[in-house]
A = this chain, B = another copy of it.
Amino acid sequence: MSPPPSSLLSLNTATTRKQWGLAQAIEGCARHGIRGIAPWRDQLHAMGLQAAAKAIRSHGLTVTGLCRGGMFPAPDAAGRSAALEENLRAVEEAQTLEARCLVLVAGGLPAGSKDIAAARQQVHDGIAAILPYARKARVPLAIEPLHPMYAADRACINSLAQALDLCDALDPHDEGGVGVALDVYHVWWDPQLEREIARAGKRRLLAFHICDWLVPTRDLLTDRGMMGDGVIDLPRIRSWMELAGYEGFHEVEIFSELDWWRRDPEEVLEACKDRHHRFG
């Protein structure tokens, strides 16, 4: 395959979160010619929403996603209600940033629960409750299936098939407004991946996150690799995305306590560009 266009590269700011605040990440992207950015809400709040929106706009960057909404399951109605309010704030922020989507990380089992089916129902109900608002705000909701190793404590939506079934349940008449964020780290192992990407199609494929799976992986959460350092066949997965009609950005999202979070962020951004070109 030919290399991916560098114009499609986006920086998820988790990749430089230990070194840079959002203002620095925006400046960094602009300086390095990276045209997309995906902020996290904690950094957004630290910078200020209006200041961030202005800086992003002034550099002509595209917000490829806002991270993140979700976290719907809770042990009681008050907790679920608080989660909905938090999600509505996230929708508003995504609207202000003109984000391509609001990424939803479903949430795991409520404290003390072993009932993953019930947690999944709570995720469905939570997204159903915010979807009308998100549609009105023109903020597509991107359900991100997370790796099964996060099923208990982060997200009980764990495969692309499951996320698409959820989309179908939430949007039975295909009106849109809900789809998926596909992160290769979470789904690369899935034997149904090619088929499910084709099933998703352009309308449901709202974001594409890239990084690599390291062997060995030393930590469940913060040992992701830079593209090319692991075992994920990125060009193959990208080819499936392109066949399905996806034309959006390729967002680099790397949690890396032991490596990339310790490096000079200028070097990290150079590596993102180089590895995206060579291995993306």
Contacts and interface: CB of A to CB of B under 8 A. Distances in A.
Given A162-B191, A189-B158, A109 B148 contact: no
Contacts of A162: 191
Given A217-B220, A220-B217, A220-B220, A231 B189 contact: no
Contacts of A242: none
A233 B191 contact: no
A79 B233 CA distance: 23
A57 to B, nearest CB: 39
Contact of A115 (B153, B156, B191, B233): B233
A278 to B, nearest CB: 14
A147 interface: yes
Given A114-B232, A231-B109, A153 B191 contact: no
A213 B148 contact: no
Interface in A175-190: 188-190
A258 interface: no
Q: How many copies does the complex hold?
A: 2
A116 interface: yes
Contacts of A233: 114-116
Interface in A150-196: 151-153, 156, 158-159, 162, 188-191
A97 to B, nearest CB: 32
Interface string A213-225: 1011100100000
Nearest to A162: B191
Contact of A159 (B120, B191, B230, B231): B191
Interface string A227-250: 000111100000000000000000
Given A152-B213, A153-B215, 4 more contacts: A114-B233, A147-B148, A149-B220, A153-B216
9 contacts: A114-B232, A114-B233, A116-B189, A120-B191, A147-B149, A148-B149, A151-B189, A152-B213, A159-B191
